Amino acid sequence: MTDTSPEITELVRQKLMARSGEERFVMGVQMFEAARAMVLASLPAGLSATDAKRQLFQRLYDQTAPF
Protein backbone atom coordinates (compact mmCIF):
# COMPACT_ATOMS: atom_id res chain seq x y z
CA MET A 1 0.00 0.00 0.00
CA THR A 2 1.22 3.47 -0.77
CA ASP A 3 -0.28 6.88 -0.32
CA THR A 4 2.35 8.60 -2.46
CA SER A 5 1.43 9.64 -5.98
CA PRO A 6 3.45 8.10 -8.83
CA GLU A 7 4.72 11.56 -9.78
CA ILE A 8 6.19 12.19 -6.34
CA THR A 9 7.63 8.67 -6.20
CA GLU A 10 9.41 9.30 -9.51
CA LEU A 11 10.65 12.73 -8.36
CA VAL A 12 12.14 11.23 -5.19
CA ARG A 13 13.74 8.44 -7.24
CA GLN A 14 15.28 10.93 -9.66
CA LYS A 15 16.69 13.04 -6.82
CA LEU A 16 18.13 9.96 -5.13
CA MET A 17 19.71 8.65 -8.33
CA ALA A 18 21.22 12.09 -9.03
CA ARG A 19 23.43 11.58 -5.98
CA SER A 20 26.76 9.82 -6.30
CA GLY A 21 27.12 6.18 -5.38
CA GLU A 22 29.13 7.22 -2.34
CA GLU A 23 26.36 9.57 -1.15
CA ARG A 24 23.73 6.85 -1.58
CA PHE A 25 25.93 4.38 0.29
CA VAL A 26 26.41 6.80 3.19
CA MET A 27 22.64 7.42 3.31
CA GLY A 28 22.06 3.68 3.56
CA VAL A 29 24.59 3.34 6.37
CA GLN A 30 23.00 6.23 8.25
CA MET A 31 19.52 4.71 7.88
CA PHE A 32 20.79 1.34 9.14
CA GLU A 33 22.49 2.98 12.12
CA ALA A 34 19.26 4.85 12.97
CA ALA A 35 17.28 1.58 12.81
CA ARG A 36 19.91 -0.14 14.95
CA ALA A 37 19.72 2.62 17.56
CA MET A 38 15.91 2.36 17.68
CA VAL A 39 16.05 -1.40 18.19
CA LEU A 40 18.69 -1.09 20.91
CA ALA A 41 16.61 1.58 22.68
CA SER A 42 13.60 -0.76 22.67
CA LEU A 43 15.42 -3.65 24.37
CA PRO A 44 14.92 -4.29 28.07
CA ALA A 45 17.30 -2.46 30.37
CA GLY A 46 20.06 -4.42 32.05
CA LEU A 47 20.80 -6.92 29.29
CA SER A 48 24.35 -8.15 29.04
CA ALA A 49 26.26 -7.02 25.97
CA THR A 50 25.97 -10.53 24.53
CA ASP A 51 22.23 -10.72 25.08
CA ALA A 52 21.73 -7.24 23.61
CA LYS A 53 23.70 -8.23 20.50
CA ARG A 54 21.72 -11.46 20.21
CA GLN A 55 18.37 -9.68 20.45
CA LEU A 56 19.51 -6.96 18.04
CA PHE A 57 20.50 -9.62 15.52
CA GLN A 58 17.21 -11.47 15.94
CA ARG A 59 15.13 -8.33 15.46
CA LEU A 60 17.06 -7.19 12.41
CA TYR A 61 17.55 -10.51 10.64
CA ASP A 62 15.10 -13.13 11.95
CA GLN A 63 12.60 -13.82 9.19
CA THR A 64 10.00 -15.08 11.68
CA ALA A 65 10.12 -12.08 14.02
CA PRO A 66 6.71 -10.42 14.50
CA PHE A 67 6.55 -6.82 13.35
Q: What is the pLDDT of residues 11-66, one digit of tens each?
A: 999 999 999 999 999 999 999 999 999 999 999 999 999 999 999 999 998 877 56
| Residue ranges per structural domain of the chain | 21-67
Secondary structure (DSSP) of the chain: ---S-HHHHHHHHHHHHTS-HHHHHHHHHHHHHHHHHHHHHHSPTT--HHHHHHHHHHHHH-TT---
pLDDT band per the 50, 70, 90 thresholds, residue 8: very high
| Residue 64 CA from chain centroid, whole number | 17
Question: Cα(49)–Cα(55) distance, rounded to whole angstroms?
Answer: 10
Measured in Å, how far apart are the chain's first and last C-alpha atoms? 16
The model carries a pTM of 0.73
| pLDDT given for residue 2 in this prediction | 83
pLDDT of residue 67: 57
